[in-house]
Amino acid sequence: MEIVYFTLVGIGLYFASDWTLDRLETKRGSRFENRSIIFFVIILVLAFVSFQLISHFMHP
């Protein structure tokens, strides 16, 4: 069951990261040159935090 949680959260993180990057670019007024690197950093940080929380709650 744990793999299902990680997979669903990973899918959600993809869309959340894309949405966050779009908001940042809208606020800036133009697209970033290194858009893929910024996307990677956003999803990496969110993944570390959320996967750590899942692990903490699954194994108290």
Angle (CA) 43-19-39 rounded to 5° is 35
Angle (CA) 48-53-56 rounded to 5° is 125
SS3 assignment for the chain:
CHHHHHHHHHHHHHHHHHHHHHHHHHHHCCCCCCHHHHHHHHHHHHHHHHHHHHHHHHCC
For residue 39, what are the domain limits?
2-58
Amino acid (one-letter) located at 41: V
pTM for the full predicted model: 0.84
* Domain total in the chain: 1
pLDDT tens string 1-38: 888 988 999 999 999 999 999 999 999 999 999 999 99
